[in-house]
Structure formats: structure tokens, C-alpha cells
Structure 1
Amino acid sequence: MKYESGLQNVYVIISDKRSDYEDIKSTINAGMLKKHKTIFNSLDGYQHDKDIIISDGLNHSITIGKDICEDVGVGKEYRGSAAYVVYDYEDITYMYCEHIYARKTHTPACILETDNYIVREECENDLEELYRLYDTLSDCSFIEPLYEAEREKEFLSAYISNMYGFFDYGLWLVFDKKTGELVGRMGIENRSIDGVNCQELGYLVGRKYQRRGIAYEVCSKIVEYAREYLYIDRLYACIHKDNIPSINFINKMKFKLYAKDIDDMDIYVRQLDENK
């Protein structure tokens, strides 16, 4: 199994009259990591279903109109109609553009890869396989089951818009690179702790894939992703006090006990910013 991105070109329409124009070009090109061709101040060859447009809204010599719409606005002075806006050009990275393309085309974004697994967002086509994965864990009282089919579809549709679309994180699916099989579901969720919205690490591995080190391999990468891409400075884990395997795992992940026996749940935390 290999992830192939559908994104081809990134078109950047910005004013070439500004004094920092060349610096901005260098910053954007560096963020692309040479993964995609970046085209500045031209829409020649643009294809709606294969490319994205980033604009500061200030280059009036190039018309972005009804049939060609900007996908990302950039800068505090931006006043256009893009669905997404970033303030700083440093935020325009290869990964960010991949996620914008996924939102635009309604396809699941690839989040990360490990040596053995691909982690990507969920989509409706995954539900049948997801139900089979959860069925292998039906005897585990610590796992919340999925809804019935129609309600789960509705829930997933809202989840894609509200979690992936707004927060740019959530629970993701884990696939074996060699076999293409769905082996788990892991990611980052929101949870209120001490009255504050915090980020929680979640993980689940199908019954026949357990005891292979999958959760450790993938969650280690998720922690790295949370720190380096999402700029999260701490992650929590909320575990039932009797779920010994999960407690052992979270200790292996270097989480520390934060609060004990809160409605039968123990809360663990890991500081990701080593300077704090």
C-alpha cells in the first residue's frame, strides 16, 4: 500500500510590489520541500481538481473570479473569499497544502507514515472495514462501540467537517503498508480537563493485530506530529482505572499520572515542549 497525493501544483498569487516579495517566495518554496511545483503570479495551466490557489488578495493584475477561486488567503490584510486563511507565510507548508487539497476534493488526507504503517483521515467508504475492526473488540468493555450505520454516517460527516476541517486533527485510520489492511484507529481528540479544552491521545488496535508494537510505533509518530506540526505542547490520555494493558502502554509512552480515579478514569499527561 502506497499513498499517492492527487495534488499537483500550488499556485501562489501575491503582490510583487512588496519589498519582501523574494523572501516570501523563498519561504514558501522551502515549506514545499520540493514535493509540489509552486507557480507564482500566473494561472497558466491551472486545473481545479488537481491544483490549489493561495492568494494575499493584493495582486489585482491577475483575476481570480467565479470559475477560478482562491483556496487559501494569506496575511492579516487578506479580505478575499477563501475558505481558509493563514496569517504567516511560514504556515504554508507541503503538509498544509495537502490538507487543503483534501478539504477541497473531499478526500481523506494522509497524516503520516511510519516504517510499516500509513495513517490517514477517515471517509465514508471506510465504514464497512471499520465495523469489522470494532467487531473484533466487541468483548472489550473499555471501548465505546460505533453507532448503527445511518447514524454513524451522519456522525462521520459532521466529524470530517468539524474536527478535520476546523482543528486539523482527530481520530485517524491506521493501515498496514504491506497488506493494505486496516489495523487500528488512533489520533488526537479534544477533551475538557479542569475546564480547559485539551488534546487527548487515543488508540485502538484490532484484536488479531495486537502485541505487534503497532500502537507504540504509530503513537510515537503521532506525538511527534502533534509537537512539530500542530504545535501542541502537551497531550493527555484518559484511561479507565482497571484497563491495565492501556495503563502499561501509556507509561511506556512516557506519560505521567495527572489525576487519579475521576469517575473511574485516571488521567495521564505528557509534556511535549521540553522548554516548559
Structure 2
Amino acid sequence: MKKILETERVRLREFLLKDAEFILELVNTPLWIQYIGDRNIHTPGVAEEYISDNLQKGYQKNGFGLWLMELKETATPIGMCGLVNRDSLDDVDIGFALLPKYERQGYTFETATATLKHAKEKLQISKIVAITDASNIASIGLLNKIGLKFEKELKLSEKDTVLLFS
């Protein structure tokens, strides 16, 4: 298990295949499906493939990726936060998602702030952006709170227009 960073209450670490049940739960929450989209991950086996083919490959290719957020005291997985190098964006972007029962407790703010600091200081990434759905008020609020400002509307595909923050 590769630990990335720790905050007061949360540890960020790389995803392992044993996290498949958690991924299955997270990517099928109503808000994930509404704002990020249905990834068709509906079995533990497909969740393992997502971890190995997407998350772990990202670590190898970029030296960073989306990491598992877990409570330090109990090692309970609560969400994901990290950095993504998308073909559709010029810059690395920060992303996050949380299980519903851990929302509105400051975990994502705490972790996203530490992730931005890690990106700048440890990974030497000078510019971080973020994308979100225009109707995702909670995400927009958090992006503003961590210091990112709305830059423009961005059309990723025919059906997908997002707001870009930097």
C-alpha cells in the first residue's frame, strides 16, 4: 500500500484490488451517477478491472492519480480524491467523490487542500484545474473554497459541457 499523504483526519493512498467492493459502492451512489456518470461498474470483478486498468495504470503512467480517502483512525474508506491527466484537458485536474454519509463534514475540503499542496510542492505541477457539472453546486462551492476560480464553459463532447476552474 502506497500512502500519498495524511491530513488531520484522512489518509490518501493508492487503490488496491482489495478496494473493489468500496469502488462498487462509490461509483454507484446517486450523486456519482448524476454528476460523473454511470461507469457500468456493477460487479466486484468489473470494479477490480477499473482499479487495475484505470486507477493503477494512472499511477504508473503519471506518478499520480485518484487516491482512496480513508479515515486515519479506522482505515474506513470514505471516498476518492486526486489528480487526473485527461486527454481532453491541457492541465492536470483535481477530482473528488465521497460516500453520501461522509458528505458535509469537511473531509473533501481537508483532502483537496492537501492534494493541491502535494501537487505543487512534491509533484512540481504548477497549474491545477478542475471540471464540474454546472448544476453541481456543492462541487462549485468546494472548488471556490480551495482557491480555484471559474474560468470558462468547456465542451468535452457533443453531450458533455462542463465548467472549468483554475
What's the TM-score once normalised by structure 1's chain length? 0.54
**Contact 1:174–1:183 at 8 Å: present in 2 too?**
yes
Cα shift readout 1:212-269 (whole Å, capped 9, x = no counterpart): 0001100110001000111100111011111111111101111112212534311011
Give the unaligned 5+ runs of structure 2: none
Q: Give % identity.
A: 26
Question: What corresponds to 1:78 in structure 2?
Answer: none
Aligned-pair CA distance for 1:133? 3.3
**Contact 2:94–2:128 at 8 Å: present in 1 too?**
yes
Secondary structure of the equivalent of 1:173?
strand
Question: What corresponds to 2:50 in structure 1?
Answer: 155
Question: What corresponds to 2:19 in structure 1?
Answer: 126
Q: Distance in 2 between matches of 1:133 and 1:162?
A: 20
Question: What corresponds to 2:165 in structure 1?
Answer: 268
**Contact 2:79–2:96 at 8 Å: present in 1 too?**
yes
The higher relative CO (CA closer than 8 Å, separation ≥ 6) is in 2
Secondary structure of the equivalent of 1:231?
coil
AA of the residue aligned to 1:168: G
**Contact 1:134–1:206 at 8 Å: present in 2 too?**
no
Aligned-pair CA distance for 1:191? 2.0
**Contact 1:133–1:182 at 8 Å: present in 2 too?**
no
- Runs in 1 of length 4+ with deviation above 4 angstroms? none
Question: What corresponds to 2:30 in structure 1?
Answer: 138
Aligned-pair CA distance for 1:190? 1.1
Aligned length: 159
Q: How has the CA–CA distance of structure 1 residues 231 and 133 changed in structure 2, closer, same or farther, with 3 Å as cutoff?
A: same
Q: How has the CA–CA distance of structure 1 residues 249 and 161 changed in structure 2, closer, same or farther, with 3 Å as cutoff?
A: closer
Cα shift readout 1:174-197 (whole Å, capped 9, x = no counterpart): 111122211111100012456x3x
Question: What corresponds to 1:165 in structure 2?
Answer: 60
Greater share of helix residues, 1 or 2? 2
Query: Superposition pairs for residues 194-273 of structure 1, below 5 Å?
Result: 196=90, 198-260=91-153, 262=155, 263-269=160-166
Q: How has the CA–CA distance of structure 1 residues 189 and 142 changed in structure 2, closer, same or farther, with 3 Å as cutoff?
A: same
Q: Distance in 1 between matches of 2:134 and 2:88?
A: 17
Max radius of gyration: which structure?
Answer: 1
**Contact 2:62–2:85 at 8 Å: present in 1 too?**
no
Q: How has the CA–CA distance of structure 1 residues 213 and 169 changed in structure 2, closer, same or farther, with 3 Å as cutoff?
A: same
RMSD of the alignment, in Å?
1.9
Give the unaligned 5+ runs of structure 1: 1-107, 270-276
AA of the residue aligned to 2:30: S
Out of 191, 198, 206, the residue aligned to residue 86 of structure 2 is 191
Secondary structure of the equivalent of 2:36?
coil
Cα shift readout 1:2-54 (whole Å, capped 9, x = no counterpart): xxxxxxxxxxxxxxxxxxxxxxxxxxxxxxxxxxxxxxxxxxxxxxxxxxxxx
AA of the residue aligned to 1:157: S
AA of the residue aligned to 2:163: D
